């Protein structure tokens, strides 16, 4: 959607400030494992993950996410007092855009850790922009890197994935925090929240999910079952929203532990009009609360578009809901046991309304 972000507690990410170094680079999700040097070794999902970040295309997409990139730029350039003469660690530096912002803001030194092949490009970018004496690019796994310094003052990272936690890069930031951050150090961003709402989406569900029930006269419902289990990452029109939006989970990145990213949270979604509910929608907000003026952004359907879009979980049932009635339940989010970068979601929901009574448990897998 293209509607503008409404007034909120966050400083406007689109406010015009010093122009971003758009020809330089981009930031991306932080890295935790390198490609194996032995090409004969079978690749794991982590290897394919880092391979994907070796291509410039994904960096271009994220750099052009103005909400995302401008927010980080605002945080750094408008709060130079936080960065001046400080040692900064950029976790998952990608092409080095965050490191360049920090160096330009007066950081004493920036250590940029990147595991994909993009680290080589980041090194060239740093040199081309005259920051080789301030930024050191370190290629490797965060858990295996030896920093040239025992501690850092600030850790900055863009670790968020779809549904906030998909690809599970948060644990790498927490590892770096516990290993290198000084006792009064800063993690940026320092707060993240996951939210839930419900939407009417009959047209898409009919076209993409119910389609498998009758394909040119043949029953392909087995594929429908699979499609129902895979959350859809897409942009939701705010006019589709039927209920209130509820906070599911709040995370203080400065204090939380890695286990806090797995949780069960209750929800109560109250209908704001008579309508049908076909899916629940999750989105996240992030905040930088240590700034002079609190800054952040939302990936919600009522905010300006980001590359994260929203995460749509289709329901088996079509819920006929009247204004004031509510869907209650719980959502359980856990790391997949075989691949911790993937997410397993268990949704329990019920509606006891005048025209609809439903109680069900559904499983979803983000892969």
| Cα–Cα separations (whole angstroms), residue 320 to 20, 104, 277 | 48, 55, 7
| Cα–Cα separations (whole angstroms), residue 163 to 213, 242, 248, 299 | 28, 20, 12, 10
Query: Which residues have a catalytic role annotated?
Result: 158, 167
CB 120 within 8 A of CB 153: no
The answer to whether the peptide bond before residue 219 is cis (omega within 30 degrees of 0) is: no
88 forms beta bridges with 110, 154
Closest among 120, 144, 112, 116 to 47, alpha carbons compared: 116
Report the 10 Å Cβ neighbour count for 155.
23
- Tell me whether residue 239 is exposed, middle or buried, using C-beta atoms within 10 angstroms of its C-beta: 0 to 12, 13 to 18, 19 or more: exposed
- Indicate the SS3 state at residue 345: strand
């Amino acid at each position: 959607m293209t509607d503008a972000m409404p007034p909120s507690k966050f400083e406007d990410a689109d406010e015009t400030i010093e122009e971003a170094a758009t020809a330089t680079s981009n930031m991306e999700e932080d890295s935790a494992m390198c490609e194996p040097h032995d090409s004969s070794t079978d690749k794991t999902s982590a290897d394919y993950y880092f391979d994907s970040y070796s291509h410039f295309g994904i960096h271009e997409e994220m750099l052009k996410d103005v909400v995302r990139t401008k927010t980080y730029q605002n945080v750094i350039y408008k709060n130079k007092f936080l960065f001046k003469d400080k040692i900064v660690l950029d976790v998952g530096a990608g092409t080095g855009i965050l490191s360049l912002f920090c160096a330009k803001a007066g950081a004493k030194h920036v250590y940029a850790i990147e595991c994909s092949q993009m680290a080589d490009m980041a090194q060239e970018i740093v040199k081309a922009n005259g920051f080789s004496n301030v930024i050191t690019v370190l290629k490797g796994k965060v858990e295996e890197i030896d920093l040239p310094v025992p501690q850092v003052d600030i850790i900055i990272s863009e670790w968020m994935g779809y549904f906030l936690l998909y690809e599970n890069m948060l644990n790498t930031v927490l590892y770096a925090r516990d290993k290198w951050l000084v006792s009064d150090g800063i993690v940026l961003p320092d707060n993240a929240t996951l939210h839930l709402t419900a939407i009417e989406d009959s047209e898409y569900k009919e076209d993409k999910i119910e389609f498998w029930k009758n394909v040119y006269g043949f029953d392909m419902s087995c594929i429908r079952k699979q499609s129902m289990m895979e959350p859809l990452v897409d942009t939701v029109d705010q006019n589709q929203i039927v209920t209130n939006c509820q906070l599911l989970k709040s995370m203080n990145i400065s204090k939380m532990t890695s286990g806090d990213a797995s949780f069960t949270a209750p929800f109560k979604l109250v209908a704001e009009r008579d309508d049908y509910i076909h899916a629940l929608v999750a989105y996240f907000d992030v905040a930088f609360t240590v700034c002079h003026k609190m800054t952040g952004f939302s990936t919600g359907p009522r905010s300006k578009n980001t590359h994260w879009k929203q995460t749509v979980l289709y329901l088996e049932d079509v819920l006929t809901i009247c204004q004031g009635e509510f869907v209650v339940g719980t959502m359980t989010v856990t790391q997949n046991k075989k691949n911790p970068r993937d997410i397993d979601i268990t949704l329990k929901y019920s509606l006891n309304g005048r025209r609809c009574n439903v109680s069900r448990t559904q499983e979803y897998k983000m892969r």
